[in-house]
């Protein structure tokens, strides 16, 4: 009976959310930035993969489990134009309470020079940054069901301008006996508590996602499919620059897609495909395809690998090292590196 009540609460939190003050984009968009090399390689979305990787819990707290006890992770992202992301994590499990993962995220946007309206530089500099302090909790209710939640304390520091907000993520996962894994997550449900920016309060980037994953029985391959942005169906937009050449200047007509093509395009903008191919126990190759990212960031003359991501994971000694690149744009791709370990590996004698 208790399990049914808990599951009912999870469903209500996932699907009966107060959308007032929530948005798909906002000043706190950095909360959706990917800091994990593995997550970046698999499409930059929450995953339905249940193992000991503590970084998965950042995006889906129902994946936080007892295998992450004493786990640690450090991540570094070399982004665009001198922007850098850094993340540190630690996990701990308490009997009869559940498993916890503490996370510190810091985004640095480089150094800016002070200048007046005419562009004259006075020699002073400042460094804008974002930060996020997160505590995630996960608990396995049955051999099949697990739930989780995270509390976030997020802030923005841009010169003398500051903001502060609190948010929560809630999630649930189901593992079938045949290896199928399903998950649903609602992220960034929250409110801005303080801001000295002029104007209205900044909104948080509320998002919902659902996913499925399975490791194949006879092939060393795991696939993951995520349906993101459940809260908003239409993710398309009209390009005012008409880079695709849909406007005929001579006739004044605009080339329109059929209803079926519009539906297919919108559907695919929600879906992200990713997979892991295991080569022995110490090497894994990863790749993904994000159609929505490709449509939003491609250029008509040089589409390249935009929307694709790929990476590799290597186990060396007592460390797991993951590296990936996300092809966000033809003119550059962020580099992600994550190092994870478990302190128990250094204290327990190997058999």
* pLDDT digits 0-9 by tens, 156-174: 998 888 999 999 999 999 9
Q: How far apart are CA 308 and CA 43, in angstroms?
A: 8
* pLDDT digits 0-9 by tens, 46-86: 999 999 999 999 999 999 999 999 999 999 999 877 889 99
Q: Where are the domains of the chain?
A: 2-18+30-114+125-344
Residue 171, beta-bridge partner list: 148, 185
Pick from 168, 158, 167: which is nearest to 197 by CA?
158
Q: How far apart are CA 286 and CA 249, in angstroms?
A: 45
pLDDT band at 251 (very low <50, low <70, confident <90, very high): low
Note if the pTM is more than 0.75. yes
**DSSP-derived pairing of the beta strands 129-140 and 121-126:** unpaired
Cβ pair 172, 182 in contact under 8 A: no
- Which two structure tokens, joined as six digits, stand for 196? 């000295």
Cβ pair 340, 72 in contact under 8 A: yes
The contacts found for 149-158 with CB under 8 angstroms, 24 or more apart, are 149/61, 150/57, 150/58, 150/61, 152/31, 152/188, 152/190, 154/28, 154/30, 154/31, 154/130, 155/130, 155/131, 156/27, 156/28, 156/129, 156/130, 157/128, 157/129, 157/130, 157/131, 158/128
- Cβ-count burial of 160 within 10 angstroms (0-12 exposed, 13-18 middle, 19+ buried)? exposed
Q: How far apart are CA 162 and CA 346, in angstroms?
A: 41
- pLDDT surpasses 50 at 213: yes
Q: How far apart are CA 149 and CA 138, in angstroms?
A: 7
For residue 6, what pLDDT is reported? 40
Residue with tokens 């007046």: 116
Using only C-alpha atoms, the chain has a radius of gyration, in whole angstroms, of: 22
Pick from 190, 221, 184, 183: which is nearest to 205 by CA?
190
pLDDT band at 217 (very low <50, low <70, confident <90, very high): very high
pLDDT band at 2 (very low <50, low <70, confident <90, very high): very low
Q: How far apart are CA 227 and CA 212, in angstroms?
A: 9
pLDDT band at 26 (very low <50, low <70, confident <90, very high): low
- pLDDT surpasses 50 at 301: yes
pLDDT band at 187 (very low <50, low <70, confident <90, very high): very high
List CB contacts of 167: < 8 A, sequence separation 6 or more: 28, 31, 151, 152, 154, 188, 189, 190, 191, 204
- What's the CATH superfamily of 2-18+30-114+125-344? monomeric porin ompg (2.40.160.40)
Q: What are phi and psi of 61, to 5 degrees?
A: -65, -20
For residue 183, what pLDDT is reported? 97
* pLDDT digits 0-9 by tens, 262-273: 899 999 999 999
Residue with tokens 């939190």: 13
Q: How far apart are CA 91 and CA 53, in angstroms?
A: 10
């Amino acid at each position: 009976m208790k399990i049914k009540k808990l599951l009912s609460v999870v469903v209500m939190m996932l699907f009966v959310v107060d959308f007032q003050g929530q948005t798909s984009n906002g000043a706190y968009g950095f909360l959706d930035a990917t800091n994990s090399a593995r997550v970046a390689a698999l499409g930059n979305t929450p995953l339905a993969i249940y193992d000991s990787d503590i970084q998965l819990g950042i995006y889906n707290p129902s994946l936080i489990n007892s295998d992450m006890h004493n786990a640690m992770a450090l991540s570094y992202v070399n982004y665009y134009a001198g922007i850098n992301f850094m993340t540190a994590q630690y996990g701990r499990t308490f009997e009869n309470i559940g498993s916890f993962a503490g996370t510190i995220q810091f985004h640095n946007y480089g150094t800016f020079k002070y200048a007046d309206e005419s562009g004259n530089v006075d020699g002073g500099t400042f460094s804008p940054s974002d930060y996020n302090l997160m505590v995630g909790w996960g608990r396995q209710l049955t051999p099949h069901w697990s739930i989780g939640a995270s509390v976030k304390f997020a802030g923005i520091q841009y010169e003398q301008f500051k903001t502060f907000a609190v948010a929560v993520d809630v999630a649930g996962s189901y593992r079938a006996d045949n290896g199928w894994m399903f998950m649903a997550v609602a992220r960034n449900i929250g409110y801005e508590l303080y801001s000295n920016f002029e104007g209205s309060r900044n909104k948080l980037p509320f998002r919902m996602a659902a996913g499925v994953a399975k490791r194949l029985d006879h092939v060393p391959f795991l696939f993951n499919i995520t349906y993101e942005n459940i809260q908003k169906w239409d993710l398309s937009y009209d390009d005012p620059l008409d880079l695709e050449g849909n406007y005929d200047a001579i006739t004044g007509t605009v080339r329109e897609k059929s209803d079926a093509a519009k539906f297919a395009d919108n559907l695919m903008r929600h879906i992200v495909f990713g997979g892991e191919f295991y080569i022995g126990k110490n090497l894994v190759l990863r790749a993904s395809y994000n159609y929505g990212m490709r449509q939003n960031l491609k250029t008509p003359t040089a589409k390249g690998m935009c929307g694709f991501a790929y990476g590799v994971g290597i186990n060396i000694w007592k460390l797991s090292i993951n590296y990936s690149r996300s092809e966000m744009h033809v003119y550059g791709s962020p580099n992600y590196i994550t190092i994870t370990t478990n302190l128990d590996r250094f204290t327990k004698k190997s058999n």
